[in-house]
Structure 1
Amino acid sequence: MYTRHDLQDTIVAVATPPGEGAIGVVRLSGPKAVAIADALFRGKRLADQPSHTLHYGTLREGDRIVDEVVVSLFRAPRSYTGEDVVEFSCHGSPWILQRVVELCVAQGARLARPGEFTLRAFLNGRMDLSQAEAVADLIAAQSEQAHDLAMKQMRGGFSKQIRALREELIHFASLIELELDFGEEDVEFADRRQLLELVARIRGLVQRLMDSFRLGNAIRRGVPTVLAGRPNAGKSTLLNALLREERAIVSDIAGTTRDTIEEVHNIRGIAFRLIDTAGIREARDQIEAIGVQKTLEKIRQSNVLVYVFDASSLSANEVAADVERLHADGLEIVAVMNKTDLVPGRRPDDFATPLLPADRIVPVSAKAGTGIDQLEDKLFALVTGGRLRLEDTVVTNARHYEALR
């Protein structure tokens, strides 16, 4: 809980990740930021310098030089927080960074709480709430698409759409209010057809934003994707083929995988969290039974199931039985018809079922590496609908989605 007094403090924190590095940054923000920096910095007097300038000098503890630094000076309101901000770019020694923070605290600053710099930016009108939330998404982005979405939201893309929606709602409410106030005077303030068009336009905008959440959430968090099937179907070989490295142990012995293996694989900017699982069959021992149970749990928690089957040994009825067993509402299924190098005459149509149409079956030889590109295309299309239009506003935050509902 923040008080008005807390927000008038000058705060300090290390602004770069923990650990050693060539450069580390300590940030000060608040009314005393420049005065505190001047008390420690030997170079130009910062109080006399203009905003958005860099200054080289030394940072001292009495007569002792703690480090040679570059100071970045940003004056209110043209700074990240909207307050006076000073950043010390130091050598990235953890001891140096911690000592600089301690010296700033000794001069009257207090340690910043998690997210407090961004909180001040929000409270000082430098960004709205959705932009502030996007800062965390930008920092956590692990793919190009996640970065692009967070950057667009941080620069006000989502806020712009919400403002447009708000204006439409205000316009609609004002027309309805006029009709209610003066309805008995036989004066029509709004054409009924135009009102219906306005309602349709509002509903369409809300629906487009809501429909984008599935894609946005997938880009932001990654898509949980389970590789499942019978023992020795080639799931681990497929995982290695997708990752282009030997990540999972592969052998001819059925049931080699007893536990789950998770790896992130990036397909055109979408992070797929691939989960290799134990083969599904009647367990022969307690350990295998636990592995099978974990497989079923992972499937229930996932968005996409990649069902892997051995095209050289399974019949269409056996594939249909497996799909029936693994199917769940809301779960997207792609089947990998593996080991096609052993049965070149078999086709996806041979295994198609009502729950698994032929266009969801991808012929693959994981051992030979054929069909992997086609599988990646299918997974990408499944999540994005075949294309990714980041020029459109995409909802990535569950709070925003719930508010739109």
Structure 2
Amino acid sequence: MSTSALLSQDTIVALATSPGANGAIAVIRLSGPQAISITNRVFKGKDLAQQVSHTIHFGTIRDGETIVDEVLVSLFVAPYSYTKEDVVEISTHNSKYIIERVIQLLIREGARAANPGEFTLRAFLNGSMDLAQAEAVADLIAAENRASHEVAMNQMRGGISNKLQEMRDKLINFTALLELELDFSEEDVEFADRDQFLQLVAELRTHIRRLMDSFAYGNAIKNGVPVAIIGKPNAGKSTLLNTLLDEERAIVSDIAGTTRDTIEETLNIDGITFRFIDTAGLRDTQDTIEAIGVIKAKEKVRQAKVLLYLYDEYDNTADEVIDQVKSLYFDGLKVVLVRNKIDLKGGYFENEMDKALKSALFTAYTDTIVAISAKDPQSVQPLKNILVDVIKDTQLAGQQIITNTRHLEALQLAYGALEEVELGITSGMSGDLLAHQVRTALRHISSITGDIDIDRDILGTIFGKFCIGK
């Protein structure tokens, strides 16, 4: 079904502020062709139909002669509004009774209760934003830290869309030239320069690959970066977790094997949410429960983006650390070597063990080693700084980041289609077949921004996740 067919002439209404939230003011939003006239019928004050856009008016909401509340009415006349329709926002006192009564009055006068995400759906359908930007609105509302806020804000302002639109336009131009060749097939001419086309496809694939690679960290930033704390028993893992959280979250004991299950807690550091996972100590054990904990610890490492490997000079050898890091490592995992218990021996200065670990592990497995005393908050601060730097370095300055699974799947399909295009160009594929492959790639790229007709069910899934009132 065409997206234009989804447009409704209904005027919708909903509470735009969080229901049940503490606060003095609630905002009720209407959007649609009758938004102003419906409000006028229950509002006692200036005639809203005679007022200009982006003005605020004081008055009362009345049910007949009964005053329901004193309000401020904000007016946004089409097309200068969020939805590009007439929009009215009524600021009432934050009383559940008042809110429900005002909304019911507006419905009685002809409005309809809005569905989840319907205001933003209308903004998309009316061309106020593309689909990727609309989805970023939901991410912005859900953002719980600075990093996820920045990513969502960048997407909402067209960070990803602009580049995709540029790619799409170039592909369309080449497709038009390929189609033109079909009209002159008897003359055997080529309007689309194959070398330039091949260069463009390579450029697009490189950009799409970067976007696809950014998903792992974009998703981690959105949901919290998982950090596994790993090491032998009594390495100080639980002590480190407690110090990071500034509370006694994990049991600390000199008895080896105290932590038998994983403990997870979140912490916001410099605007980035980290999910720290304290795990059972890695060792061979005959204790059935502890052995299960060791298995779980290794499973958690597979789910992590960052691994903090704790060791000390008393209970570890360089060979032990090297062997365990190599066995735990997988492509994409950021490993930070953490030498603990410097208050007892060694201090911050590099020692022979550090040198051996650098020689064996740096470049291929890690490039970071830090010395700490896990029980000293001041000593742990450099480790916090390293964690923030690891994530910021991974993002790559200026690189666009995707956080949406739907976008990832569309990019993967587009990448595969562009591979077929590249193969077709190098093998001398005919223009009509080549044009078909390009259109397939275009369809997948366009599905991200909604520059093609989007199925009603897909839109329902996307916008159904929004809160009512947005």
Same fold (TM over 0.5): yes
2:120 alignment partner AA: T
Looking at structure 2, the residues matched to 324 and 358 of structure 1 have their Cα atoms a distance apart, in angstroms, of: 10
Name which of 264, 267, 277 aligns with 2:266.
264
Contact 2:308 2:336 in 1 (8 A): yes
- 2:80 maps to what in 1? 78
The change in CA–CA distance for 1:297 and 1:95 in structure 2 (over 3 A counts) is farther
- 1:8 is paired with a residue whose SS is coil
Indicate the larger mover: 176-185 or 90-99. Answer: 176-185
Query: Cα–Cα, structure 1 residues 99 and 196, in superposed 2: closer, same or farther, change >3 Å?
Result: same
2:354 aligns with 348
Aligned to 1:277: 279
Change (3 A) 1:49 1:290: farther
Is 2:138 the counterpart of 1:136? Answer: yes
- Could you say if the C-alpha distance between residues 289 and 188 of structure 1 is closer, same or farther in structure 2, counting changes exceeding 3 Å? closer
- Per the alignment, in what secondary structure is the counterpart of residue 17 of structure 1? coil
Change (3 A) 1:186 1:297: closer
The answer to whether residue 393 in structure 2 is matched with residue 385 in structure 1 is yes
Q: Specify which of 348, 369, 385 is matched with residue 361 of structure 1.
A: 369
Which 10-residue stretch deviates more, 253-262 or 49-58?
A: 253-262
Aligned to 1:18: 19
Q: Per-residue CA shift, 1:135-184, capped at 9, x if unaligned? A: 00111112223222222221222221111101221233344455666577
Amino acid at match of 2:165: R
Residue 394 of structure 1: aligned partner: 401
2: CA distance, partners of 1:275 / 1:100: 48
Structure with bigger RCO (C-alpha 8 Å, 6+ apart): 2
Q: 1:306 is paired with a residue of what secondary structure?
A: strand
Larger deviation, residues 38-47 vs 381-390: 381-390
Q: Report the counterpart of residue 223 of structure 1 in structure 2.
A: 225
Worse-matched range after superposition: 173-182 or 236-245:
173-182
Deviations 1:244-275 (A, max 9, x none): 45544434344444443333333443322222
2:103 to 93, 101, 116: 101
Contact 2:336 2:366 in 1 (8 A): no
Match of 2:306 among 283, 304, 307: 304
- TM-score, normalised on structure 1? 0.86
Aligned to 2:243: 241
Contact 1:225–1:304 (Cα < 8 Å) also in 2: yes
Matched AA of 1:99: R
> How far 1:6 moved relative to its partner?
8.2
Equivalent residues of 1:362, 1:371 under 8 A apart: no
Deviations 1:98-129 (A, max 9, x none): 33223322333222111111111111111110
Residues 19-46 of structure 1: CA deviation (Å, up to 9, x unaligned): 2212211111222222222222222222
Alignment RMSD (CA, Å): 3.2
Structure 1 residues 190, 152: CA separation in 2 closer, same or farther (over 3 Å shift)? same
Q: Shift in Å at residue 372 of structure 1?
A: 2.9
Point out the more displaced range, 45-54 or 196-205: 196-205
> What does residue 454 of structure 2 align with?
none
In 2, the alpha carbon distance for the partners of 1:253 and 1:96 equals 60
Q: 1:51 Cα deviation (Å)?
A: 1.6
Give matches, 1:331-342, under 5 Å: 331-342=333-344
Specify every segment of 5 or more residues in structure 2 that has no aligned partner in the other structure, as ranges: 413-470
The answer to which structure has the higher helix fraction is 2
CA 1:301–1:34: 2 relative to 1, 3 Å: same
Change (3 A) 1:31 1:181: closer
Distance verdict in 2 for CA 1:329–1:86, change over 3 Å: same
Tell me the distance in 1 between the aligned counterparts of 2:47 and 2:10. Answer: 22
2:112 is matched with 110
What are the residue-to-residue correspondences of 1:27-38 with 2, within 5 Å? Answer: 27-38=29-40
For residues 391 and 185 of structure 2, the distance between their equivalents in structure 1, rounded to whole angstroms, comes to 49
Map Cα deviations across residues 200-237 of structure 1 (whole Å, 9 max, x no partner): 33333333433433443333232111222333221122
Aligned residue number for residue 8 of structure 2: 7
Query: Per-residue displacement from partner, 1:290-317 (whole Å, max 9, x unpaired)?
Result: 5445434333322222222333321223
Opposite residue 18 of structure 1, the aligned amino acid is P
| 1:121 paired to 2:123 | yes
Which AA in structure 2 matches 1:111?
Answer: A
Q: Identify unmatched segments of 5+ residues in structure 1.
A: none
Q: 1:191 to 1:62 in 2, by over 3 A?
A: closer
Partner AA of 2:40 in structure 1: D
Contact 1:169 1:202 in 2 (8 A): no
281-290 or 217-226: bigger deviation: 281-290
Map of 2:153 onto structure 1: 151
Matched to 1:348, the amino acid is D
SS in 2 for 1:126: coil
Cα distance in 2 for partners of 1:381, 1:180 equals 54
Q: 1:3 to 1:131 in 2, by over 3 A?
A: closer
Distance apart, 1:281 and its partner CA: 4.1
Q: 1:142 to 1:311 in 2, by over 3 A?
A: farther
Contact kept in structure 2, 1:228 and 1:306, CA below 8 Å: yes
**Separation in 2, partners of 1:172, 1:377:** 48
For 2:189 and 2:213, the matched residues in 1 are separated by: 39
Cα pair 2:329 2:365 within 8 Å, conserved? no
Partners of 2:111 and 2:83 in 1: how far apart?
Answer: 16
Task: Output the amino acid matched with 1:100.
Answer: V
Distance 1:358 1:324, change over 3 A: closer
CA separation of 1:271 and 1:62: change in aligned 2, threshold 3 A = same
| Identical columns (%) | 57
The CA deviation at 1:387 is 6.5
Asked if 1:375 is matched to 2:376, the reply is no
